Amino acid sequence: MESEADLHSEIKALSILSENPELYEEIVKLGSIDSLVNLLSHENTDIAIDVVEVISELTDDSLEAEQSQWEVIVNAMLEADLLSLLSSNFKRFDEKHESDRCGVFHSINILENLASMASLAEKIGKQSNILDWLVERVRKRESPLSQNTQYSAELIAILLQSSSLNVKKFCDIDGVNCFLEILANYRHVNPVKGTEEEEYVENLFDALTCVVNSPEGKFKFVEAEGVELCLIMIKNGKMSKSRALRLLDHSLGSLDALEVCERLLEAGGLKIIFSIFMKKEDGSSIEHLLGIFSSLLKLLTANSAYRIRTLAKFVEKDYEKIIKLVKLRREYASRVKSIDEDIKKEQEGLDVKIIESIADGCLSKRLDAGLFCLQTIDVILAWLVAEDDGASKRVRSLLAENGETLKIISETLNEQIAAVVGDTEEETMTRDMLMTLVKFLT
């Protein structure tokens, strides 16, 4: 090549390959991909940026390339040490310059393209220090927030959703504490609606919501006072309120969340979440509040001060929370019944195999109508019937007003039991819990 200008032109010309994926295998055989990837280390960063842009186009998973064609070119790039070279360039690109900012953006885009395959998302986290760089990039203070900061947060959320190993690494590099510290800035203020900053905040919440589903994520969340921060956000009622509710709900999920449950009570969370519950909330918030109540009743140790305090909140003020629970139950049951009737009409005369083939779609319709909330409410009511005589009498009385008995709750619980088909520790304990609750309803 006579000059870097010629090299620049040759690199740009390769972008035409993205329109001809049938040629991917051939250019890999010719060694062109090796040569292209190696140019990422060119001493002239402008050349490296040219290469990044072309690789971004070639790895775009939205192109019409077949999966096998895409994998051929991506595997060749990975064998040429693509991840290490991208990582090195993150360190040498200077985002004070527009061209370098573009280089960073397209580098993140390459990683997003690769992460469309779960195994590659895990490879990104496991075989490079890219996740470390992304966390530090998100931590960087900026005003106004840059596109690359937002994109870094988005990519982290994608990587965490794709791999439990990435979640573990994120916890190990103090990512949970970092993200909570950033979110703390939004306790009393909202990002401007429709901006990159709003999307940035949502990505931070999405990442943490994924992380707290894991045991190590829950530990880090409690350690970094994530429960307390969520409660502040829920109480203040800003844009972050619904996201904080969702995050708290997920942190309380699964059998290993006892410590999170106890921290919620220690932080004065009962008053806050029950107060929110008694107000008029949107369907999503109600779903997460119900999830929180259910987790507390499922996990808090029998006869512990924590459990006694929780039960007391349900029965105080003349059982107002139970009254609302039963009211919500009627609303959700009515919606689900209506959908069930529609489904029954649609299935009349259909072959059994056809009915089985559309079962997932029917379940989706029932869930959209509020089936999950109905089931969660019935688990909560069953716990209250089982543990408090006064609550049991009030639930029976409220159901009787509509000509109903505890049998309708038993039916919902039995439907849930039938849906638990696995034999993991959590599934076994869930099935045993539901079966025990059914006994208290008969």
Give me the domains of the chain, ranges plus CATH numbers: 4-306 (1.25.10.10), 329-440 (no CATH)
φ, ψ (nearest 5 deg) of residue 405: -130, 180
pLDDT on residue 1: 46
pLDDT on residue 20: 84
Whole-number Å distance between alpha carbons of 233 and 241: 5
Q: What is the pTM of this model?
A: 0.92
Q: Which SS3 state, helix, strand or coil, does residue 319 take?
A: helix
pLDDT on residue 347: 87
DSSP string, 25-81: HHHHHTTHHHHHHHGGG-SSHHHHHHHHHHHHHHT-TTSS--HHHHHHHHHHHHHTT
Q: Which of 289, 290, 311 is nearest to 300 (CA)?
A: 311
DSSP 214: S
Whole-number Å distance between alpha carbons of 144 and 157: 21
pLDDT on residue 2: 52
Placement of tokens 């512990």 in the chain: 304
- In 10 A of CB 324, how many CB atoms? 14
Q: Which of 136, 434, 154, 106 is nearest to 297 (CA)?
A: 434
For 381-436, the pLDDT digits (tens) are 999 999 999 999 999 999 999 999 999 999 999 999 999 988 898 899 999 999 99
DSSP 116: T
Residues 6+ apart with CB under 8 A from 437: 379, 382, 383, 386, 413
pLDDT in tens, the chain (442 residues): 457 777 877 887 777 888 888 888 998 999 889 999 999 999 899 999 999 999 999 999 777 778 899 999 999 999 999 999 999 999 999 999 999 999 999 999 999 999 999 999 999 998 779 999 999 999 988 888 999 999 999 999 999 999 999 999 999 999 999 999 999 999 888 888 888 999 999 999 999 999 999 999 999 999 999 999 999 999 987 788 999 999 999 999 989 999 999 999 999 999 999 999 999 878 889 999 999 999 999 999 999 999 999 999 999 999 999 999 999 999 999 999 999 999 988 888 888 888 888 888 999 999 999 999 999 999 999 999 999 999 999 999 999 999 999 999 999 999 999 999 888 988 999 999 999 999 999 8
pLDDT on residue 369: 92
Count Cα neighbours of 110 within 13 Å in the Cβ-side half-sphere. Answer: 30
